[in-house]
Amino acid sequence: MDAANRLLIITGPNSGGKTAYCKMIVQLQILGQAGSYLSASMARIVPAEHIFYQRPDAGKLEEGMGRFAHELKQTREIFFNSTSLSLVILDELAEGTTFEEKMTLSEYVLKGFHQLGASTLLVTHNHELCERLLSEGIGSYLQVEFLQGEPTHRLIPGISRVSHADRVASAIGFSKADVEKHLESLKS
């Protein structure tokens, strides 16, 4: 991110390290602002007036609030408290609603952060949102790199259009074949 473009969107498949990257950015920002040593060959930290990190959460059932409402409330609080000197990290946005509503909500929220001038990082699988914003000249785009189906833990230019959901489901034993095998075993 730089002064001219303060919205960065990172896309990539499941298990590519997007959430770990969010956590690392927040930690490095806090350590850098505190004057601590950063384990890097080079770093340029711009002090942030506020640091906000919104991550997926199951919701607050005791408050009668599901995941979507809880996340939206969190994002609203971040937005209304952000300034042009804020660092905003969003780990996914508008999960738990229809695709159309997710697109609409995500677009106006990100355009809002863009207009505020807050340094904003979003990690998402939503390549359609990225393409929509890119067509308006909004944002910079990086994707997590995968080689031979494995993450390299590097970011490269571009927008990822894959999710690797099948690979993750197979790795945990919950692929289509696993479900069919289980159902077949119940017939015996």
- Residue 1 within a domain: no
- Residue 104 within a domain: yes
Percent residues over pLDDT 90 in the chain: 55
User: Domain span at residue 95?
Assistant: 7-187
Cα separation, 83 vs 50, in Å, equals 8
Res 58: pLDDT: 62
Res 110: pLDDT: 96
The secondary structure of 120-159, three-state, reads: EEEEECCHHHHHHHHHCCCCEEEEEEEECCEEEEEEEECC
Average pLDDT over residues 169-175: 87
pLDDT digits (tens, 9 = 90+) for 105-119: 999 999 999 999 999
Q: Which tokens go with 128? A: 């359609």
- Residue 17 within a domain: yes
- Residue 113 within a domain: yes
Domains contained in the chain, number: 1
Q: E strands within the chain?
A: 7-11, 50-54, 86-91, 119-124, 140-147, 150-157
Res 16: pLDDT: 84
Mean pLDDT is lowest, of 25-29, 73-77, 170-174, for 170-174
- Residue 54 within a domain: yes
- Residue 2 within a domain: no
Question: What is the CATH number for 163?
Answer: 3.40.50.300
- Residue 22 within a domain: yes
- The half-sphere exposure of 123 on its side-chain side, counting CA atoms within 13 A, is 24
- Residue 53 within a domain: yes
